[in-house]
Amino acid sequence: MSSASVDKLNVLFCSVGRRVELLKAFGSAYQTLALKGSIIALDIDPLAPALQVADRAYIVPHLGDPGFIPTLIEICRREEVGLVFPLTDWDIPILSERRKEIEQTGARVAVVSPDAAKTAADKWLTMKLFQRLGLSTPKSWLPSDLDPDRMEYPLFIKPRKGSAAKETFKVGNRRELVFFLEYVHNPIVQEYLPGLEITSDVICDLEGRLLGVVCRQRIEVRWGEVAKGVTVNNQEIVQACGHIARELPAVGALTVQCLLKDGQPCYTEINARLAGGIPLGIQAGVDAPLWLLARTAGVHVDIPPLGAYKSGIYMTRFDDSYFLSEADRAQLAGHRL
């Protein structure tokens, strides 16, 4: 917990996109804690839906633009931001590498170290981390290590540094493998596992202390994000996630993905950020927004024992809409520094 409590904590989210539910969950956490604070949202697109639910919204340069970090720093100073969260995989390395500059504003950045960010971003390095911990992983190859004529099909191919399930394909035969090895940039090839996919939200405070883990079975996925899911009680995965969080080490939140092979988890990926499916975990009792705000502000909250959450809680999502006039859109698009 923080050494001293504060009565106000402003939170900033980078690349908010469609994360409306997450920002609303933080709003609810403020009310529960009776904590003063504002939610600041950044995006490059004035039509990003989550901008509509923030207390203040800013349109910022692209992450790769040299102006992004100076703009972020100025917003942190102007808005007296106390806590910064990445919401996409692309936010993580730049926030991690520039943490010192950002934190000179008085804000704290809920992001892993540069080395941990590198490990989580690279699927091959992630495999090596799991293997060091003695965890099962799918059989995996780099292109230089495989012979298309000798492989057992089907296989699965994806970019080593991919995100949101882009350029991921099931490979049925030699001809497809040869094609996708050329098509997918810097790929990793793995055995194809048709079993259930379990994603676990792992919540730590800013000092890396493990607060909670919740396991979610992904029933349906759209655009790389869960659309339907259910919480499941798998204490083996919960304990493994704790080991992964300590070894990485985690800061704030991360997600751990695994596929079941003959009922046993095979670990595949880490995303070092708040997941898109985290509203299901919150509903099940792992209230990441509440816990992270409380720990950062120095407010006491009771946190249940590790693995104590409700299983059998289902989530099914639907699309909603915000409507803007041209004047509304232009006003938001012009809210730049």
**Shared domain check, 200 and 185:** no
- Look at residue 165 in the predicted model and tell me its pLDDT: 72
Average pLDDT, the chain: 95
CATH assignment of the domain containing 28: 3.30.470.20
**Mean pLDDT in residue range 211-225:** 91
List pLDDT tens digits, range 292-329. 999 999 999 999 999 999 999 999 999 899 999 999 99
Q: In this model, does residue 3 exceed pLDDT 60? A: no
Q: Is residue 93 domain-resident?
A: yes
Helix (H, G, I), strand (E, B) or coil at 334: coil
Cα 156 to Cα 138: distance, rounded to the nearest angstrom: 10
**Shared domain check, 117 and 81:** yes
**Shared domain check, 298 and 278:** yes
**Shared domain check, 101 and 66:** yes
CB-based contact 198:234 (threshold 8 Å): yes
pLDDT band at residue 168 under the 50/70/90 scheme: very high
- Look at residue 1 in the predicted model and tell me its pLDDT: 43
Strands (E), the chain: 10-13, 39-43, 56-59, 81-85, 108-109, 140-141, 155-159, 169-171, 187-191, 197-204, 210-222, 225-232, 253-261, 264-271, 314-316
**Shared domain check, 102 and 210:** yes
Q: Is residue 248 domain-resident?
A: yes
Q: Is residue 129 domain-resident?
A: no
Q: Is residue 261 domain-resident?
A: yes
**Shared domain check, 220 and 166:** no
List pLDDT tens digits, range 29-69. 999 999 999 999 999 999 999 999 999 999 999 999 999 99
Q: How many domains does the chain have?
A: 2
- Look at residue 4 in the predicted model and tell me its pLDDT: 63
* Residue whose entry in the numeric block shows the structure tokens 């989580």: 120
**Shared domain check, 169 and 266:** no
Q: Is residue 2 domain-resident?
A: no
Q: In this model, does residue 88 exceed pLDDT 70? A: yes
Q: Is residue 127 domain-resident?
A: no
CATH assignment of the domain containing 159: 3.30.1490.20
pLDDT band at residue 235 under the 50/70/90 scheme: very high
pLDDT band at residue 227 under the 50/70/90 scheme: very high
**Shared domain check, 175 and 79:** no
pLDDT band at residue 137 under the 50/70/90 scheme: very high
Cα 17 to Cα 269: distance, rounded to the nearest angstrom: 22
Last residue of a domain, one of 191, 217, 234: 191
Q: Is 311 exposed, middle or buried (0-12, 13-18, 19+ CB in 10 A)?
A: middle
Indicate the residue type of 92.
Answer: I
- How much is the pTM? 0.94
Phi, psi angles (nearest 5°) of residue 13 = -120, 130
Last residue of a domain, one of 169, 191, 213: 191
Q: Is residue 21 domain-resident?
A: yes
**Shared domain check, 113 and 224:** yes
Among 162-171, 214-223, 242-251, name the most confident range: 242-251
Cα 51 to Cα 43: distance, rounded to the nearest angstrom: 8
pLDDT band at residue 28 under the 50/70/90 scheme: very high
pLDDT band at residue 166 under the 50/70/90 scheme: confident
List pLDDT tens digits, range 244-275. 999 999 999 999 999 999 999 999 999 999 99
List pLDDT tens digits, range 273-302. 999 999 999 999 999 999 999 999 999 999
Q: Is residue 134 domain-resident?
A: no
**Shared domain check, 222 and 74:** yes
**Shared domain check, 153 and 90:** no
Residue-number span of the structural domain to which 143 is assigned: 139-191
Last residue of a domain, one of 130, 160, 191: 191
**Shared domain check, 297 and 322:** yes
